[in-house]
């Protein structure tokens, strides 16, 4: 096969060749995208405007909402454009950008969820020293470290992937996904990216073990709380985070550990949608469903918007 290292574009997989189904895909993705953007944006604005929510837990939640907006914005708009315009090509540098920002936001999400587990551990297991340990400077440093690690991880994966020689430009996925890109490689350099993936998986497994051990200690502490009300209150602050972590990890693990489906690209697309779009879309609902403070802040924000509309009409 001829060398396509200097190619100018990649060819992404369409959801369907049928025009009506392409339009349907566009509107389905549009609804999911708007839900994810509006949900996370409302959470971020509500936390930023409500001074009662200027605590470490909600500071981390604000950052999570921003990362989720970035995650869905990496691939969904391009996929929608492909279906609407019936143009399957993505530029070489556009593909590079997708890989880079997908890993940047994905790694940041995971790093932040690990930090949030530590925050819940300190709040429940060491409440008297919570403000001393989780002060503003410490929270900013932890988030900054998470972003730096994510940036390095994204640069490492992107560099090792696109250092390959590609013998085809047809990516068997609706976005530039590294495993699909490595299948197009006709050089041995893909082994470097395989090594990087193994390293990333090892770090990811360490974070997962840290979260598990953290929650074992939290549940052990909760069991020693004498009152039933105290137990419920402590667990209620952990439940949304635990649910978000579970959705984030199980969708990713399920997608990447299942047997390969070479004969069914539609199945690959379905699984990719589940682990790339569903978690950022669900996260705002998970955090706002049983959190009274978030609910109150959202209602206040919506009432403020309604009141400003009435005032603008009067004026």
Whole-number pLDDT of residue 260: 55
Cβ 204 vs Cβ 248: under 8 Å:
no
pLDDT digits (tens, 9 = 90+) for 46-95: 898 888 888 899 999 999 999 999 999 998 898 888 888 878 888 999 99
What pLDDT does 311 receive? 35
Nearest alpha-carbon partner for 249 in 209, 215, 289:
209
Q: Is the pTM of this model over 0.75?
A: yes
Pick the CATH number of 12-314 from 1.10.3720.10, 1.25.60.10, 3.40.50.720, 1.20.1070.10: 1.20.1070.10
CA atoms of 285 and 291, how far apart (whole Å): 10
Q: Where are the domains of the chain?
A: 12-314
E strand or H helix at 11: strand 9-11
- Low-confidence stretches of the chain (pLDDT < 50) are 1-5, 263, 306-315
Q: Which of 92, 107, 99, 212 is nearest to 153 (CA)?
A: 107
Give the three-state DSSP class for 261. Answer: coil
Report the chain's terminal Cα–Cα distance, integer Å: 69
pLDDT tens-digit map of 12-23: 887 777 888 888
Identify the H or E element spanning 134.
none
Element (H, E) at 89: strand 89-91
How confident is the model at residue 290, as a pLDDT? 67
């Amino acid at each position: 096969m001829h060398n396509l290292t200097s190619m100018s574009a990649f060819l992404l997989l369409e959801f369907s060749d049928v025009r009506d189904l392409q339009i349907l895909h566009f509107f389905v993705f549009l609804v999911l995208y708007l839900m994810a953007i509006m949900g996370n944006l409302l959470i971020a604005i509500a936390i930023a405007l409500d001074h009662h929510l200027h605590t470490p837990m909600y500071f981390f939640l604000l950052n999570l909402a921003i990362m989720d907006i970035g995650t869905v914005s990496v691939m969904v708009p391009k996929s929608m454009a492909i279906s609407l315009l019936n143009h399957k090509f993505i530029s070489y540098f556009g593909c590079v950008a997708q890989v880079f920002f997908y890993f940047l936001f994905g790694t940041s999400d995971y790093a932040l969820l690990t930090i949030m587990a530590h925050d819940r551990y300190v709040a429940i297991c060491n409440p008297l020293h919570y403000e001393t340990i989780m002060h503003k400077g410490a929270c900013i440093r932890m988030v900054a470290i998470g972003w730096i690690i994510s940036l390095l991880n994204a640069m490492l994966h992107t560099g090792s992937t696109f250092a390959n020689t590609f013998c085809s430009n047809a990516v068997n996925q609706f976005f530039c996904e590294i495993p699909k890109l490595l299948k197009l490689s006709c050089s041995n350099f893909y082994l470097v990216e395989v090594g990087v993936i193994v390293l990333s998986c090892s770090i990811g497994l360490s974070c997962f073990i840290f979260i598990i051990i953290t929650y074992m200690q939290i549940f052990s502490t909760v069991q020693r709380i004498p009152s039933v009300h105290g137990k419920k209150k402590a667990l209620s602050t952990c439940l949304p985070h635990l649910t978000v972590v579970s959705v984030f990890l199980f969708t990713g693990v399920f997608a990447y550990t299942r047997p390969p489906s070479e004969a069914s690209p539609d199945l690959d697309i379905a699984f990719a949608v589940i682990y790339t779009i569903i978690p950022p879309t669900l996260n705002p609902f998970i955090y706002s469903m049983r959190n009274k403070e978030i609910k109150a802040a959202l209602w206040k924000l919506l009432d403020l918007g309604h009141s400003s509309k009435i005032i603008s009409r009067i004026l």
